[in-house]
Amino acid sequence: MRLRNLLLKRLLQLLAVSWGVGTLTFLLMRALPGDMAYRIAAGRYGMDAVDSDAAALVREELGLDQGAWSTYWSWLGDLLQWNLGNSLVSGQPVSESLWHMLGHSLLLAGAGILLAALIAIPLGLASAYHGGWLNRILLTLSTGMRALPVFVIGLLAVVVFALELNLLPVAGFGTPAHLVLPALTLGLSLAAIANRVVHTEAERVFNAPFYEFAQTKGLSAWQAFLRHGVRNMSVPVVAFFGVQLITVVEGVVMIESLFSWPGIGHGLAHAIFARDIPLIQGAALMMGILFVLLNTLVDLACYWLDPRGGQLA
């Protein structure tokens, strides 16, 4: 029952977010300076062929002289019929482009988060358990790694694994090998913070009276960790990774450019330059929906891990 209420609430939230994000994107795009017809013409025909004639043709073809309201209503009408429209630049259906880009982004984000978890969880736990020099070394490494811009980490990864060891491709997509370096770059950059989150939570649990009691009553270190440690420390960690996933999906433009990875961050940046409004609206909408879905999943996971957390909301 409570689950049904939650899902219903989130569905309403989803509708509100979809409308809000789409409308806000529309308003913001309209508010940007510069003539839309020229921008779209530059995106379509390239910088050598964009001229007033091309802009006039674009204006006529897309009906850009129509008022903002009529464009907005037609977008909303299309949306209610599950139609995101066509890209103003390529003419392809927005849903196809989004599917292509979002698929690649989710793959990269998923692999990056997985790697980050594989790196951060053992390191965070070890540094909390041992403390001392290990903790200090990891803190220094994490700070250093966090301070490096992500494309520098990417370039270093390319130099080591692609150029020196010749193990992996420098850039591109299409085979599993192409995923390794961008995912590793992303994983390393995320693990820099994530291992500190794990460390803090693990330290809190290791020093808690209930944990000490668990060991005093005779459980081995391993048993105490499995029965009383994992669940207690995992709620903030799961929540942290959940929030990271969504920022990663939309925020890895640098990694996507460096590795020629056709993700949504890079696609969105190009769409904004070219004022490809249907694509921007579609992408923002997908992000909004994804955000609500992931939040719901994280909430459910956290509730399952620690039902004491109170009401599902």
Partner 1 sequence: MKNKLITVFLGGLALLPAAVTAEPNQQNTVNIQAAFEFSSLDPTRSGFVFTRMQVLETLLNVDSQGGLLPGLASEWSIEDGGKLWRLTLRDQVHFHDASLLTAQQVADELNRGLNKISALRGLPITSINANADNQVEIKLSAPYRPLGAALAHYSTAILADAAYNDAGEVTALIGTGPFSVQEIAVPHKLVVERFDDYWGKKAQIEYASYLTGHRAEARVLQARSGQADIVFGLDPASVPMLKRLPTLEIVRSDLPRTLALKLNAGHRFIAEPEARQALSLAINRQGIATAILRAPDAATDQLLPAYMSDWYLDGQSEAYNLEKAAGMLAQLGWTKNSEGWLERDGERFELDLITYADRPELTTVATAVQDQWKQLGVKLNVNVTNSSAIPSGHSDDSLEVALIARNYGIIADPLGILLKDFASSDKGGDWGSMNWSNTWVPETLNAMVSDNDAAHYQEQAQSIAEALYNERPLIPVASYVQQTAINKRLSGFRFDPYERSYFLNELSWK
Residues of the shown chain interacting with partner 1 in the complex, contacts defined by CB under 8 A? 34-35, 38-39, 41-55, 57, 89-92, 100, 155, 158-159, 162-163, 166, 169-174, 257-260, 262, 266, 270, 273
Nearer to partner 1, 139 or 152 (CB): 152
Nearer to partner 1, 76 or 177 (CB): 177
Q: What angle do CA 277, 283, 287 make, to 5 degrees?
A: 145
DSSP alpha helix (H) spans, 64-175: 68-80, 94-130, 132-147, 150-157
* C-alpha–C-alpha distance, residues 75 and 96, integer Å: 17
Q: Which residues, including other chains, have CB under 8 Å from residue 181's CB and lie 6 or more apart?
A: 154, 157, 158, 161, 162, 168, 169, 170, 259
Q: How much of the chain is in helix, strand and coil states, percent to nearest 5?
A: 80, 0, 20
Q: Which residues pair with 86 in a beta bridge?
A: 93
Nearer to partner 1, 39 or 196 (CB): 39
* C-alpha–C-alpha distance, residues 243 and 261, integer Å: 22
Q: How far is the CB of 57 from partner 1 (least distance, A)?
A: 6
Q: How far is the CB of 268 from partner 1 (least distance, A)?
A: 13
Q: How far is the CB of 44 from partner 1 (least distance, A)?
A: 5
* C-alpha–C-alpha distance, residues 95 and 93, integer Å: 5
Q: How far is the CB of 92 from partner 1 (least distance, A)?
A: 7
Nearer to partner 1, 113 or 153 (CB): 153
Q: How far is the CB of 278 from partner 1 (least distance, A)?
A: 14
* C-alpha–C-alpha distance, residues 134 and 131, integer Å: 6
Q: Are 213 and 135 in contact (CB under 8 A)?
A: no
Q: Which of 79, 86, 55 is nearest to 271 (CA)?
A: 86
Q: How far is the CB of 276 from partner 1 (least distance, A)?
A: 9
Nearer to partner 1, 73 or 273 (CB): 273
Give 79: exposed, middle or buried? Use CB within 10 Å, 0-12, 13-18, 19+: middle
Q: How far is the CB of 100 from partner 1 (least distance, A)?
A: 7
**Cα-flanking dihedrals φ and ψ of residue 251, to 5°?**
-115, 25
Q: Are 283 and 271 in contact (CB under 8 A)?
A: yes
Q: How far is the CB of 242 from partner 1 (least distance, A)?
A: 30
Helix, strand or coil, per DSSP, at residue 93: strand
